[in-house]
Structure 1
Amino acid sequence: MPTRRLILAALCLAPGVALAHLPAGARGPNGGQVQDIGSYHAELVLRGNDILVFVFDHNERPVPVAGATAQAILLANGRQATVPLTPMEGNLLRGTGDLSEARGVRAVVTLSLPGQRTAQARFTPLDPA
């Protein structure tokens, strides 16, 4: 009988765990679009000319990006620009690009964390704030 109760308890908790997971394309905690990037989540935020990428695990906990290499390829107004992203504090990667007149921005972010395989995520459409 204890096994049945344990299974029942696990099944009751499962929906709560599923609700904590942000689906691809959802708005993240910083207001940007979230996409799966390898075994993580990436949230892309365009703020002024800043390109910000926040990296989270699938439980929405920040993943440290020290030592990571990353870039964003931005497509807007018929132009393409490759922007290197620099690891900042915590789970933040940052780059700068000319987004002053860009609308309908599409982006491909490539991320390589130390000891991990390189992964990509596509973000579309995004408008700078």
Structure 2
Amino acid sequence: MTERSMMTTRRTLGIGLAALALTPGVAGAHEPRRGPNGGQKVDIGQNHGELVAQGGTLRLFLFDGADRPLPAAGASAQAVVLAGGRQATVALTPAGANVLAGSGDFTAARGMRAVVTLTLPNQRPVQARFTPMDQD
């Protein structure tokens, strides 16, 4: 393969990947949505997590792939929160049937971001990104 044909192949591949990322059917399949508790709900591994942020507290509601409550017993999570230009790490522990909760040194506000690492019993950790205060 010549250098010119390799460049053409790379350019075509790049354009194809950009088009795929902008395709509504593909990109919309995993878009965040509002959960039943008023938080942002996203896919986290094979399950769903709904993150509610208020003041300096996070609550992570757990749901299975069919949106049924998933028991929080034995689960743990950690959230790395970026809010107000500062980063905080928040440990989330069981605080109800299907909820993990924790508090940290941050104040929930528009523009905040959180990366949650969830570990369910006998499973590998999974991650999800949230922007819980930037919903419609």
User: What TM-score do the two structures reach when normalised by structure 2?
Assistant: 0.71
Is structure 2 residue 66 aligned with structure 1 residue 67? no
1:103 match: 110
Shift of 1:101: 6.7
Give every structure 1 segment of 4 or more consecutive aligned residues whose post-TM-superposition deviation is greater than 4 Å. Answer: none
| Structure number with larger C-alpha Rg | 2
Is structure 2 residue 34 aligned with structure 1 residue 27? yes
Partners of 1:100 and 1:37 in 2: CA distance: 24
Shift of 1:69: 1.7
Alpha carbons of 1:101 and 1:126: their partners in 2 closer, same or farther (altered >3 Å)? closer
When the two structures are aligned, how many residues end up with a matched partner?
106
For structure 2, the 5+ residue unaligned runs are 1-28
Post-superposition Cα deviations, 1:29-67, rounded to whole Å, max 9, x if no partner, equal: 001111111110000001232200001012110000111
Q: Please tell me the root mean square deviation across aligned C-alpha atoms, in Å.
A: 1.9
For structure 1, the 5+ residue unaligned runs are 1-21
Partners of 1:43 and 1:73 in 2: CA distance: 15
1:48 match: 55
Percent of pairs identical after alignment? 59
